[in-house]
Amino acid sequence: MTQLDHGKFSKMTTTFHTLLALDVFVLFFSGYSLMFNDELWWMVGLMGGAQGVSAVHRIAGGGLLTLIVFWMLMMVTTDTGRGNFREILPSKGDFDAFIQDVQFLLGSADERHPNARQFAGGTADEIPLLTYIGKGVVFIFAAELTLLTISGLLIWSKTGVMDIMATKTAAAAFVTFHGLLGVIMLMGVMFHIFEHGFHPALYPVEVKAFIPKSMIPEEHDDDTEGTGIELLELAPSWNMASTVVGAMTVIGIVSVLLGSLFDEGYPVPREIAIGGGPTDILLTVGINMGVFVLLLGLVLQMYGNLLRVRWQKQLEQEASEPTTAADGGHVESDD
Considering only residues 85-104, where is the footprint of other proteins by CB under 8 A? 101-102, 104
Residues with Cβ within 8 Å of 77's Cβ and at least 6 positions away in sequence, in order, are: none
Burial of 249-283, coded b for 16+ CB within 10 Å and e otherwise, reads: bbbbbbbbebbbeebebeeeeeeeeeebbeeeeeb
Give 8 or 53: the residue with its C-beta nearer to other proteins.
8
Q: Binding of other proteins at residue 195 (CB under 8 A)?
A: yes
Q: Binding of other proteins at residue 180 (CB under 8 A)?
A: yes
Interacting residue with other proteins among 42, 126, 129, 214 (CB under 8 A): 214
Considering only residues 101-160, where is the footprint of other proteins by CB under 8 A? Answer: 101-102, 104-105, 107, 110, 112, 119, 133, 140, 153, 156-160
The least distance separating other proteins from the CB of residue 46, rounded to whole angstroms, comes to 25
Torsion over CA of 48, 20, 3 and 217, rounded to 10 degrees?
-60
What Rg do the C-alpha atoms of the chain give, in angstroms? 23
Considering only residues 55-74, where is the footprint of other proteins by CB under 8 A? Answer: 62, 65-67, 69-70, 73-74
Q: Binding of other proteins at residue 333 (CB under 8 A)?
A: yes
Considering only residues 11-30, where is the footprint of other proteins by CB under 8 A? Answer: 11-12
- In angstroms, the CA 181 to CA 36 distance is 14
Phi, psi of 50 (to 5 degrees): -60, -40
Residue 255, H or E segment:
helix 238-262
Give 55 or 235: the residue with its C-beta nearer to other proteins.
235
Q: Binding of other proteins at residue 229 (CB under 8 A)?
A: yes
Q: What is the DSSP letter of 234?
A: P
Number of residues forming the site for other proteins (CB under 8 A): 96
Per-position x/- string for 237-266, each x denoting binding to other proteins as judged by CB under 8 A, each - no binding: -xx--x---x--xx--xx--x--xx---xx
Q: Binding of other proteins at residue 198 (CB under 8 A)?
A: yes
Give 80 or 146: the residue with its C-beta nearer to other proteins.
80
Give 46 or 55: the residue with its C-beta nearer to other proteins.
55
Q: At what angle do helices 169-197 and 238-262 cross, to 10 degrees?
A: 170
Residues with Cβ within 8 Å of 82's Cβ and at least 6 positions away in sequence, in order, are: 75, 76
